[in-house]
Structure 1
Amino acid sequence: MEHLPAAPAPSADHITDRSMTDFRAAAAWQWRQAVLDGEVSVVELASAALTAAATRSGLGAFVHLDPDYALSRAEQLDRTIAQLRRIQGTTTAAAELSARAPLLGLPMAFKDLVPVAGMPLTLGTRALPVQIPAVDAPLARRLHRAGAVSIGKTQVPELGLHCYSENQIAAAARNPLDLSRTAGGSSGGSAAAVSAGILPFAPGSDGGGSVRIPAAACGLVGLKPGRGRLPDDDQDPGVQNLPVSGPLASSAEDAALLFDVMAGHRFASPTGSRTLGPATGPAQRRVQHALSQGLEPVRVGVTMESPFSPELEIVLADDAVVAVQEGISRLQDAGHMIQGTDRCTGADRFWPADYFENFTSLWTSRLAGADFPTEVFAELEPLTQHYLEVAASRSAADVQKSLTALGDFSAGAEDIFGPWDVILTPLLASAPPEIGWFSAFSPEQNYVEQCRFTPYSSVVNVLGLPAVSVPVHTDSRGLSWSVQLMGKHGSEELLLALAAVIMRR
């Protein structure tokens, strides 16, 4: 089993080392502070990310790198910072920049599903012509305005449809914890880049687990916000609106920093501070408070039942169970109250009946309006063709029946919480498979195996609720295992704080 080198030990002077090519040496918020304090330049950070991406090209994290754009923008930011320091002084300039540009100088990359001005957009498919967008997508524009420096585009599955990031146009995204295995999907390239230390953190998108799955596979924190929580996401409240954007990071505090920017939160200096300290957003402050002062006890329900059962046989690996036990133990040690859902519901089944069939109908129905010409259809991957054929074969009445059932389920999303504030589940049922494992199956079986691998993620998208993937266990092979915490509408900050408390141990 081949691994990437371990992260270098963090040190006070590492961030000023021009040869540094591993962002695991410090937290994202520390790199941010180093830029604000003048200890490292934006050009140095951009160069470090570009060097790391180039030297680790075998990881398959990127489909496109743009050194010219990244370094040009980095130089521009360094000039702006220098000018503000001359006018305002270092301390005042740092305080102002931390509030106005909270991601100042931090290297960034977007999935190859997100339009970024001047960078190729392939959507992970060879069936469609490559586009060169003239303007940023709203999320990319927001993060760029916050001071982030894009270095390229990360690998995705075709049209973002699969839970593994392999396609016909570029090398597969590999897992830094074991290079023979998948990094997950659809934000697999982004997760691989963060886990390998190429980037300090990255934005992803999640339509059925596409942030949480690669986060769990690669040992990261991955937050899926609730439907409509982020201003740049589709605000349609309907159940067919599955995708949202969310952060991937090595820690809960870094995820909170990126989430604050993605959510459009205001950054401010600490209340009552006598110094001009760095500005923080509300999610980051919530995490910092949880780490320093703890959290008020929350009630946590635990379920091991998958919504795909009993239609699919779901078998959890021993390490998936160990991860749940470890997550429960850490929450109990922190003073939180745990109770199994089977003790409270009094029902034979926690999730609604026929979920697998209804979700399959919902998932494929989103492609029903795609009218690909014959020559384009022939270039699509077999699994994508299968989804389109399934969508075309289902009657309007059957699709509407499934949408109505899941829409009713979504409308009462918080009813599942009963006496609990948060629900804990496993996330991945098994270790990330080897590259090529899924595609070796027939398209029909490929889809089933993806569901068996990720049996707890899609239901959160259907419900429109927030959830976070939290790494809690490392097995004897060095692979990471996570738990999923689901919260009520608007509980993203609480979930990140709980993740921080769980990971502190």
Structure 2
Amino acid sequence: MSELHDLTAGELLDRLRAAAVSPVEAVAHYVERIARLDGRLGAFVEVTADAALARAARLEAAAPFGTLWGLPHAEKDLVARAGVPTRYGSAARIDHVPAASDELALLLDAAGAVSVGKTNTPEFGLTGYTESAVAPPARDPWDTRNGAGGSSGGAAAAVAAGLLPAAIGSDGGGSVRIPAATVGIVGLKPSRGRLPVGSGLDSPGGLVVNGPLARTVGDAALLLDALVAGAPYRHATRAAGAGPFVDAVRTDGPALRVAVTTVSPWDDDEDIRLDAAAAAAVSTAAAVLDGLGHAVAELAWRPHGYAALFRVLWRSSAARLPLTDAELARLQPITAWLVREGRALGAPELLGALSAASAFERETIAVFAPYDAVLTPALALPARPVGWFDAADPERDFAQQVRYAPYSSFVNVAGLPAIVVPVTRDAAGHPVAVQLVGRPGGEAALLRLAGQLESARGPLPHPPCW
């Protein structure tokens, strides 16, 4: 019989609903694994074992409800849960214990899931790697000398190592997709306006959306369905199309049109060098999709001016953090730099960047419009060693993050859906992922294509020693 952590999230939910596994058994299994293994991984910053087991017992004593009944999960440490320390990866919030829970935590509660704690994140989620001043680094389970990416690095590491069946992260510039690609799992960023909670419509530039991290494409679709259905929609704009998205993963249908590019919007501004294994993964994915009958073609795309607009948007996002001067002095160098740079922005510069972002969104959608999906590398470089990013030099740190993950943030600016899925393994056996970017509201096509790539690849083993 398989261990519970060998099951997909969907398989575990099936067993929970069939009473073959109880919520207490499921939660106890994952709590034990976290206690035994996370010291080498740094995936968690807070484990609420007693509260999780008590909630699981309450669920067990009542009638099942919700789409995620009994499923263990954990919030990224940017999501407030009442009574649980929520530090945002920052010394400036080291003693913060919220009195109320954020909407995402309440949504997951209403779906019947069981929170077992908080996962590791960089300071205020502002970097693509997870090395804060208040917790050990989140590490890649395939090689713990390397980091897990960010900002949902703890969540991705936990899922990859079997310390959680699946997780929800947030993605403002790649924060779901970067760590998912780093540790060899599936990461899905929904369209702007797709979700009722974490829609992107209430964040600066419309960048930040919630999204699933999972070991399989099917599990990512299952979590997307739970997020879409989990709360009333309160915005005037909503992404087109509808679920259930789990039906899209294995659905046969007409051939789709897929474009391929290794161009990034940062190419004019940074020295982007694509690793050979990343390039090979794109070629493999293109060949697989072509062999399945999809129409695969090279994309002629060379965007200009992107770097300047994104730098303003990212600094303005940091400027919104409600920090006093005393708290600002406690921040890590890159966070303090982003906040100070953002606060120094004038209205003309910010409005100009928002206008440029809107133009970039329209232009990108127009270029991508003939295709159901655009295939790109997920990352330009393999997982980076812990300490590789130059935390003492914020400008260099930012540039290093761009060179690591130049294919991520433009998707947020354009408001498009994207998924990363491992398709090959490098010489050391580490999974290498590609990214598929869809049309507005085009998650179903992405899930279908990603599911086909996953099937062609075959099952991945667990990372060694986990």
- For 2:239, the equivalent position in structure 1 comes to none
Residue 27 (str. 1) matches residue 8 (str. 2): yes
- For 1:144, the equivalent position in structure 2 comes to 109
Q: Tell me by how many angstroms 1:396 deviates.
A: 3.1
Residue 322 (str. 1) matches residue 284 (str. 2): no
- For 1:283, the equivalent position in structure 2 comes to 245
- For 1:69, the equivalent position in structure 2 comes to 51
User: Alignment partner of 2:266: what SS?
Assistant: coil
- For 2:240, the equivalent position in structure 1 comes to none
- Contact 1:125–1:159 (8 Å) recurs in 2: yes
Counterparts of residues 100-115 of structure 1 (less than 5 Å): 100-115=65-80
Alignment size in residue pairs: 444
User: Alignment partner of 2:355: what SS?
Assistant: helix
Q: Tell me by how many angstroms 1:415 deviates.
A: 0.5
When structure 1 is superposed on structure 2, of 425-434 and 413-422 the one drifting more is 413-422
- For 2:120, the equivalent position in structure 1 comes to 155
2: CA distance, partners of 1:128 / 1:351: 42
Code of the aligned partner of 1:318:
A
- Contact 1:238–1:407 (8 Å) recurs in 2: no
Counterparts of residues 36-55 of structure 1 (less than 5 Å): 36-55=17-36
RMSD: 1.8
Match of 1:230 among 184, 191, 195: 195
Aligned-residue identity in percent:
41
Closer, same or farther: CA 503–47 of 1 in aligned 2, 3 Å: same
1: CA distance, partners of 2:230 / 2:150: 28
When structure 1 is superposed on structure 2, of 168-177 and 415-424 the one drifting more is 415-424
User: Alignment partner of 2:274: what SS?
Assistant: coil
- Contact 1:239–1:407 (8 Å) recurs in 2: no
- For 1:339, the equivalent position in structure 2 comes to 297
When structure 1 is superposed on structure 2, of 398-407 and 174-183 the one drifting more is 398-407
- For 1:8, the equivalent position in structure 2 comes to none
Unaligned runs of 5+ in 2: 232-242, 457-466
User: Alignment partner of 1:232: what SS?
Assistant: coil
Code of the aligned partner of 1:448:
A
Q: Tell me by how many angstroms 1:258 deviates.
A: 0.7
Q: Tell me by how many angstroms 1:102 deviates.
A: 1.7
TM-score by length of 2: 0.92
Code of the aligned partner of 1:79:
A
Match of 1:454 among 384, 393, 405: 405
- For 1:406, the equivalent position in structure 2 comes to 357
- For 1:87, the equivalent position in structure 2 comes to none
Q: Tell me by how many angstroms 1:335 deviates.
A: 1.3
1:388-419: CA deviation from partner (whole Å, max 9, x where unpaired): 23224444323322221112222455212142
Code of the aligned partner of 1:328:
A
Q: Which has the larger radius of gyration?
A: 1
Q: Tell me by how many angstroms 1:365 deviates.
A: 1.5
Code of the aligned partner of 1:309:
D
- For 1:480, the equivalent position in structure 2 comes to 431
2: CA distance, partners of 1:364 / 1:210: 16
Code of the aligned partner of 2:258:
V
2: CA distance, partners of 1:161 / 1:48: 32
Code of the aligned partner of 2:361:
S
User: Alignment partner of 1:109: what SS?
Assistant: strand
Match of 1:492 among 438, 443, 461: 443
1: CA distance, partners of 2:372 / 2:306: 23
Code of the aligned partner of 2:213:
L
TM-score by length of 1: 0.85
When structure 1 is superposed on structure 2, of 483-492 and 132-141 the one drifting more is 132-141
Closer, same or farther: CA 238–367 of 1 in aligned 2, 3 Å: closer
- For 2:37, the equivalent position in structure 1 comes to 56
Residue 295 (str. 1) matches residue 260 (str. 2): no
- For 1:193, the equivalent position in structure 2 comes to 158
- Contact 1:362–1:403 (8 Å) recurs in 2: yes
- For 1:419, the equivalent position in structure 2 comes to 370
- Contact 1:155–1:189 (8 Å) recurs in 2: yes
User: Alignment partner of 2:93: what SS?
Assistant: coil
Residue 502 (str. 1) matches residue 460 (str. 2): no
Code of the aligned partner of 2:195:
L
Q: Tell me by how many angstroms 1:363 deviates.
A: 0.8
Closer, same or farther: CA 441–301 of 1 in aligned 2, 3 Å: farther
Code of the aligned partner of 2:291:
D
User: Alignment partner of 1:178: what SS?
Assistant: coil
Closer, same or farther: CA 423–38 of 1 in aligned 2, 3 Å: same
Code of the aligned partner of 2:132:
N
2: CA distance, partners of 1:430 / 1:479: 13
Q: Tell me by how many angstroms 1:78 deviates.
A: 1.2
Code of the aligned partner of 1:117:
A
Unaligned runs of 5+ in 1: 1-12, 15-19, 82-96, 267-280, 343-349
After TM superposition, what 4+ stretches of structure 1 lie above 6 angstroms from structure 2? Answer: none
2: CA distance, partners of 1:457 / 1:244: 13
Closer, same or farther: CA 321–118 of 1 in aligned 2, 3 Å: same
2: CA distance, partners of 1:404 / 1:422: 26
User: Alignment partner of 1:166: what SS?
Assistant: coil
1: CA distance, partners of 2:311 / 2:437: 22
User: Alignment partner of 1:151: what SS?
Assistant: strand
- For 1:168, the equivalent position in structure 2 comes to 133
User: Alignment partner of 1:104: what SS?
Assistant: coil
Residue 365 (str. 1) matches residue 316 (str. 2): yes
